[in-house]
Amino acid sequence: MFCGFQLGGEVTIALTERQRLAGALACLFPFLLHCMLDGGGGSKHWEATFLYYLAEANRLLGLNDDAMTIYRQPIDAVEQARTLSIPSEVSRAGIVSARHDVFAGTIDFMVSRHREAEAFEIAEAWHARALLDILTESRVDLTKDLSASQREQEDKLFARISSVQRELWSAGGRAAPEEELKMNLARAENELESFQLEMRRSNPRYAGVKYPRPQKAEEITARFSDDGTALIEFVLGDQKSFAWIVHGGRISSVVLPPRKQIEAVVSNYRAALNEHVSALTVKTSIASTDLLGSQLYETLFAPLESQLKGAHSVVIVPDGVLFYLPFESLRRAAVASKKEADAPYLIERFAISYAPSATALRLIQDPKESTTGARGLVAYGDPIYTAVKFDSSSAQTGRGAELTSLPYTRDEVSAIASLFALADRHAYTGAEATEASVKSADLSHIRYLHFAAHGVIDEDNPMRSGIVLSRVAQSNEDGTLQMNEVVRLKLGAEVVTLSACRTGLGKVMNGEGVIGLTRAFQYAGAKDVVVSLWNVNDVATSELMKAFYQNLTRGLRKDEALRQAKLQFLHGARGTWKHPYFWAPFVLNGAND
């Protein structure tokens, strides 16, 4: 009999040789029982692992009915493990992320048995579960129950983090103080997280929070019964990847290449998108970029295209690296006719938006604060950074991590504000564009919230990601509105726009998606968040944002408003801006209702 286990280590079961499978099946349950009873191994994690191997063994033996029954059990075990985990976002997400094999393997089996709807439900159980939990808690707003002393303690912890951040940024790269300050920062952040966890544990309303279950396939198909809008949901797997199309009240699925194959092409495509573009190189650059884009088109979109007839709006639920891919920039290769008109970009065919999952989309559409009566604009731009000379002749000026001045953001904010009545607009620029002014403003009834500034993204420690505003010497604030601070805002915004570099990036976790600024603003109450996927051009971004808000004030839907702004670049007279680098970085995440 072939069996093997190691307490506290990895379990290895050979399932590739049929003659060993009977022995593997016979010993799996004793191992499972041993691990569940032993003090070091009794966990839902182990239970999910063993049940999954058991289901796989039954599948390979051809016992498909038994496999069908067993496959759902490890999913249930993972769900129970989530409820028992530390109630922090990363911890909850990590429980599901670590069991990628369980979800992908179960989906593979369901699809092979032509159970597309059930496979789709597994995908929904896989996607954005921590986000669903935190969104639900944010609707309850447990912070209302904090006592005055607890609020004071929390404020002191935030102030301590800001103080260390200010010291860290003024350390000037000196290794010794910088390392010590980083340790101090980590300690302060850990203390804040511990405080917030304790407040949750001690709050009786926390125990009564009703967390939403992933929606059933029939519930989701009913929401996409309109032929004009389709949902596409992806799951990337090590052996196979999958996509589901929900359109016209029907659901279908396709099998795609393995994760690594897709990741390699996406990586090459993103590298091409970020190459320097000039008037002399734009045609060559577009051709090489489109070649890579056409490979992704054929891999990810062509297999499901026949299911999208009649759709003019598409909601995409990405997975893994696909969160960093602007699908609207993909196009098929025009090999036969050599005519661009025969190979339009997807942006020319569809208005595209993105969502963390179909279930999460439904919750985001039910905002934290009522948006009824929300009106007007609050915008922040052209913060004061350092006395850096700005070369206005440079067409490649970006909004990246180097804190150079961004003069076009003042024009951007002024032009956008001019679209609103004087009483309905508040624009903060220069020395007024501060972190303190954001926190002190009543944003609960503001329809549009706009930031035109530098963004800082920390993919290892996403809570440190933020929008960099004017730094005031005598302020208690560090000048960067970070994730933990964003979550404390009370928003009623239809749209929050982060007109800065790479604001759509963060910590990518299997199944969960991107932990970053997008979801922080969603937790705070925003219905839609517009973010960027790479370092953006200052001049082009300013023009794109003006067009976007002009379209919004004309009454266009949010996805269509952004689409039309991009089409102005694509079909405009300025040849350089036809390159996707200039018009494709900004994407719409959220409700789009």
Q: How confident is the model at residue 336 (pLDDT cuts 50, 70, 90)?
A: very low
Rounded CA separation 541/531 (Å): 12
Pairing of strands 513-516, 506-509: antiparallel
Taking residues 444-471, report their average pLDDT.
Answer: 94
Residues 6+ apart with CB under 8 A from 288: 272
Residue labelled with tokens 């609960």: 444
DSSP β-bridge partners for residue 245: 232, 252
Quick check: 9 pLDDT over 50?
no
Alpha helices in 173-275 (DSSP H): 175-202, 204-207, 217-223, 259-273
pLDDT at 28: 57
Distance in angstroms (rounded) separating the CA atoms of residues 51 and 70: 7
DSSP-assigned letters across all residues of 32-62: HHHHHHSTTT-SHHHHHHHHHHHHHHHHHTT
Tens of pLDDT, residues 526-585: 999 999 999 999 999 999 999 999 999 999 999 999 999 999 999 999 999 999 999 999
Ramachandran region, residue 432 (left: φ > 0; alpha: ψ -120 to 50; beta: rest): alpha
Please report, for residues 271, 273, 275, 277, 571, the alpha-carbon distance to residue 283 in angstroms, rounded to integers and kept in the order given: 17, 13, 13, 9, 14
Per-residue pLDDT reduced to its tens digit, 293-317:
999 999 999 999 999 999 999 999 9
Instruction: For residue 148, name the pLDDT band (cuts at 50, 70, 90).
Output: confident
* Interatomic CA distance for residues 530 and 496, integer angstroms: 6
Residue 389 has pLDDT above 70, yes or no: no
- Model confidence pLDDT, tens digit, residues 417-443: 999 999 999 999 999 999 999 999 999
CATH of 217-359, one of 2.30.170, 3.30.70, 3.30.420, 3.30.2010: 3.30.420
Q: pLDDT at position 273, please?
A: 93
Looking at residue 13, its pLDDT comes to 44
What pLDDT was estimated at residue 515? 95
CB 92 within 8 A of CB 82: yes
The residue ranking higher by pLDDT, 192 or 247, is 247
Mean pLDDT confidence for 163-191? 79
Phi then psi for 383, rounded to 5 degrees? Answer: -65, 155
What pLDDT is stored for residue 394 in this prediction? Answer: 38
pLDDT over 90 percentage in the chain: 61
Half-sphere exposure of 147 (CA within 13 A, CB side): 5
| C-alpha span between 448 and 426 (Å, rounded) | 11
Residue 554 burial by Cβ neighbours in a 10 Å radius (0-12, 13-18, 19+)? exposed
Q: Quote the pLDDT of residue 293.
A: 96
Q: What is the mean pLDDT of residues 196-213?
A: 80
CA angle 376, 382, 385 (to 5 degrees): 140
pLDDT of the residue at 147: 81
Q: What is the CATH number of domain 370-553?
A: 3.40.50
Any residues with CB less than 8 A from the CB of 487 and at least 6 apart, and which? Answer: 138, 520, 523, 524
Residue pLDDT, tens place only, 356-377: 999 999 999 886 555 567 899 9
At residue 555's C-alpha, the angle toward residues 516 and 565, to 5°, is: 60
pLDDT number for residue 105: 94
- Do residues 578 and 568 touch, judged by C-beta distance below 8 A? no
Domain residue ranges of the chain, discontinuous segments joined by +: 18-114, 147-196, 217-359, 370-553
Q: Residue 235: in which H helix or E strand, if any?
A: strand 229-235
Count of alpha carbons within 13 Å of 371, Cβ hemisphere only?
21
d(CA 487, CA 227): 36
pLDDT value at position 6?
41
Read off the pLDDT of residues 256-280 as tens digits, 9 standing for 90 and up. Answer: 999 999 999 999 999 999 888 888 9
Residue 3: the pLDDT is 42
* Distance of alpha carbon 37 from alpha carbon 44, whole angstroms: 12
Q: 232 CB contacts (<8 Å, ≥6 apart)?
A: 243, 244, 245, 246, 304, 314, 315, 316, 317
The torsion angle over the Cα atoms of residues 571, 574, 579 and 584, rounded to 10 degrees, is -70
pLDDT at residue 43 greater than cutoff 80: no
Alpha carbons 441 and 312: distance in angstroms, whole number: 38
**pLDDT for residue 66 is more than 60:** yes
Average pLDDT (142-157) is: 82
* 341 vs 580, more confident: 580
Concatenate the DSSP letters of all residues of 339-374 into one string.
-GGGS-BGGGT-EEEE-S-HHHHHHHTS-SS--TT-
Q: What percent of the chain has pLDDT over 70?
A: 86
**Whether 588 contacts 558, CB under 8 Å:** yes
pTM: 0.89
Which of the pair, 396 or 456, is modelled with greater confidence?
456
Taking 70 as the threshold, does the pLDDT of residue 75 lie above it?
A: yes
C-alpha to C-alpha distance for 206 and 426, rounded to whole angstroms: 36
Q: Which of 9-23, 50-64, 89-103, 486-500 has the highest mean pLDDT?
A: 486-500
Chain mean pLDDT for the chain: 86
Structure tokens at 182: 């980083």
Categorize the per-residue pLDDT at 60 as very low, low, confident or very high, splitting at 50, 70 and 90: confident
Beta bridge mates, 509 = 513
